Structure 1
Amino acid sequence: MQTVLFHQTIFGPIHSRRLGTSLGVNLSPNDGKVCSFDCLYCEAGYNAQGPGTTGLPARAEVGRLLEEKLSAMAAAGDRLDVITFSGNGEPTLHPDFEGIIDDVVKIRDRYFPHVKISVLCNSTRLSDESVCRALRRVDNNILKLDSAVESTMRLLDRPNDPAFTVDALIPRLVAFGASAIIQTMITRGSHDGHRIDNSTDAEVDALIEAYRRINPASIMLYTIDRPTPERSLQRVPRERLDAIAARIKKETGIKVSVAG
C-alpha cells in the first residue's frame, strides 16, 4: 500500500506545479495519515494505512520549526514564493488550526513578508467558523470541488462523513466567493466496477453551474502527476484540460489556470 509522502512537519522547499517554490507545512502525523476524505488519487495513499504513532504536531512545535527554517533561508538568501499547508492529510482537522495560521502569518511577516501563505483544503470543514476565520486570513485560500455531481464526488473523494454532500458544500463555497480559489482534480478511471470520468461534457456543465454560483477569484484545474492508490486512474491529456479551461473561462468569465 502506498504510504505517506512527508515525514517532517516543515518540508521542502519543493517546486509546486501550481504555486512555485513552496515550503510545506504538514499538520498531519509524520508517520501516518489523517484526512476527512479518502480520495482515490491521493498521493499520500489511502486512510487505511492509519494515523501512525507520532500524533499531530503541537502548535508551538510548528511555529518553532517554521521560524528555524525561515530564519536559515533568509540568512542564506534563498528564494521562496509560498508557504503551503499540505502534507499527509487535511490541515484544517488540526484542533489548533486557527492559532497556527496566526503564528505562521507573524513568522512569515518577520522573515519573508512578500511570500504568500496558501492552504490546500478539501472543503470538508467549512461548517466550522474557526476554520473559516483562519482561511480568510491567508493569501491563497484553495478549496476543493472535484465534481458538482454527487455520485462522482462520492466515488472520487470518498468523504468520511455521509452527511457531506455537494448540495451542502456549494453554499459554503459561495460564502467565500472571491476570497477563494477553487481547485478541481480532473481524472478518469474506475473503482470497484464503477467508471469515473469528471472530464465529460456533463460533468463540466455541472462544474460551470457551481463555479458561477461560487464566483471565486480563480479556478485551478489539474490532473494526476504521481502514482495513485487507485491504479486505474489516468492523466487527462493537456489538450482536454485546456479545452475545459477555455470553456469555463468563456462561460463564467473566471480566471482559470491549468497544471497538466
Structure 2
Amino acid sequence: MTVIYPSPIFGPVHSRRLGVSLGINLLPADGKVCTFDCIYCECGFNADHRPKQSLPTREEVRSALEARLQDMRQNGSTPDVLTFAGNGEPTAHPHFPEIIEDTLALRDKYFPNAKVSVLSNSTFIHRPAVFEALNRVDNNILKLDTVDEEYVRVLDRPTGRYSIREIIEGMKAFKGNCIVQTMFLKGGYKGQDMDNTSDKFVLPWLKAVKEIAPRQVMIYTIDRETPDHDLQKATHEELDRIAARVRETDIPVSVSY
C-alpha cells in the first residue's frame, strides 16, 4: 500500500534518519503534487493521486503547527525534528519561504532544541527565496539519486525541465550547508535494469558529491512499498561499500538499510 499523508501536520513518526519527527506536509491531504514522479515513491505515482483539494495556506500551516506543538509540550512528548515532507515536493508551495520563517519562530518558542529539516528533490533551489529559506534550516536535505541523465529520467522521472549539471551547481552554492541524500536500489522497471550500486553509477556520483562538498551524505534504500513491484532493496554490503567510498573523501555519511 502506498501512503498519502494528512495535511498540513502529521505524526510524529519515527524516522530512520532523523529520530522523533513531526511531519509538515505543504501539499493537499488527498493527493500528490511533485516535480518528480519517482518509481520508488512511497506515495505512489502522480497520476494515481491527483488532488482535488487546494494547498494548505500559510496561516493554516502556522496555526496547525502551533496547536500540535502546544499539545506535545503539554503531553510531555518532545520532537527531535520538524520535517517538511509528505505528498510531494515541499518547496513547490508558493509560500514555502514564509512558512519556514513561521516554523523557525514556533520551534524557537516551543522546542528550541528541535531541528528543522526539509526533504527536497532540489528542483527549486535556483529560486533565490527558496535557496535562502533552505539555507536557514538545520537540515537542508537535497536529493541527488544519480548523475546519469538517462537513468534519472527512468528513476526520478522529472515532470519538467531538469539538468543534473544545474542541480549540482545549485547545491554547490550552499557552500557545504546541505546534506546530499541518495537512493540506491536494484531490480528492474519496464524491462530496464535499475541497479545503481555499481561503480558505473557510484564513481561519477561520488565525483559530484566531492564537488558539492556537503556537510553530510545520507544513503538509503527502499523501506516502504513502492508503486512498482519489480524494484528491490540494495543489500547491506552494497550500501556499506558505497559508504566506505564516501568516507574516503572525509565527508560524513549515514546509512539507512
State the TM bucket, normalised to the shorter chain: over 0.9
Deviation at 1:141, TM superposition (A): 0.2
**One-letter code aligned to 2:181:** Q
**One-letter code aligned to 1:180:** C
Contact 1:4 1:33 in 2 (8 A): no
Deviation at 1:193, TM superposition (A): 2.1
Deviation at 1:3, TM superposition (A): 5.0
Q: Deviations over 1:123-149 (max 9, x none)?
A: 111111111011011000000000011
Contact 2:7 2:56 in 1 (8 A): no
**One-letter code aligned to 2:250:** G
Contact 2:121 2:142 in 1 (8 A): yes
Q: Which residue of 2 aligns with 1:204?
A: 202
Q: Quick one: distance in 1 between partners of 2:177 and 2:130?
A: 14
Q: Which residue of 1 aligns with 2:117?
A: 118
Q: Deviations over 1:52-103 (max 9, x none)?
A: 2221101000000000000111112112100000000000000000000000
**What secondary structure, in the 3-state scheme, does the structure 2 residue paired with 1:182 have?**
strand
Q: Quick one: distance in 2 between partners of 1:129 and 1:213?
A: 21
Q: Which residue of 1 aligns with 2:224?
A: 226
Q: Quick one: distance in 1 between partners of 2:46 and 2:210?
A: 33
Q: Quick one: distance in 2 between partners of 1:49 and 1:133?
A: 33
**One-letter code aligned to 1:153:** V
- Is it true that 1:259 corresponds to 2:256 in the alignment? yes
Deviation at 1:230, TM superposition (A): 1.3
**What secondary structure, in the 3-state scheme, does the structure 1 residue paired with 2:151 have?**
helix
**What secondary structure, in the 3-state scheme, does the structure 2 residue paired with 1:179 have?**
coil
Q: Which residue of 2 aligns with 1:184?
A: 182
Q: Quick one: distance in 1 between partners of 2:175 and 2:224?
A: 31
Q: Quick one: distance in 2 between partners of 1:173 and 1:45?
A: 27
Q: Quick one: distance in 2 between partners of 1:127 and 1:80?
A: 30
Moved more, 94-103 or 144-153: 144-153
* Among candidates 213, 216, 222, match of residue 215 of structure 1: 213
Point out 4+ residue stretches in structure 1 off by more than 4 angstroms: none
Q: Which residue of 2 aligns with 1:67?
A: 66
Q: Quick one: distance in 1 between partners of 2:183 and 2:54?
A: 28
**What secondary structure, in the 3-state scheme, does the structure 1 residue paired with 2:200 have?**
helix
Q: Quick one: distance in 1 between partners of 2:110 and 2:48?
A: 37
Structure 2, unmatched stretches of 5+, are none
What percentage of residue pairs aligned between the two structures are identical? 49
- TM-score (norm: length of structure 2): 0.97
**What secondary structure, in the 3-state scheme, does the structure 2 residue paired with 1:133 have?**
helix
Deviation at 1:4, TM superposition (A): 4.1
**What secondary structure, in the 3-state scheme, does the structure 2 residue paired with 1:227 have?**
coil
- Is it true that 1:132 corresponds to 2:131 in the alignment? yes
Deviation at 1:237, TM superposition (A): 0.9
Deviation at 1:7, TM superposition (A): 2.2
Moved more, 50-59 or 10-19: 50-59
Q: Quick one: distance in 1 between partners of 2:38 and 2:105?
A: 33
Moved more, 42-51 or 18-27: 42-51
Deviation at 1:192, TM superposition (A): 2.1
Contact 2:25 2:85 in 1 (8 A): yes
Number of aligned pairs?
257
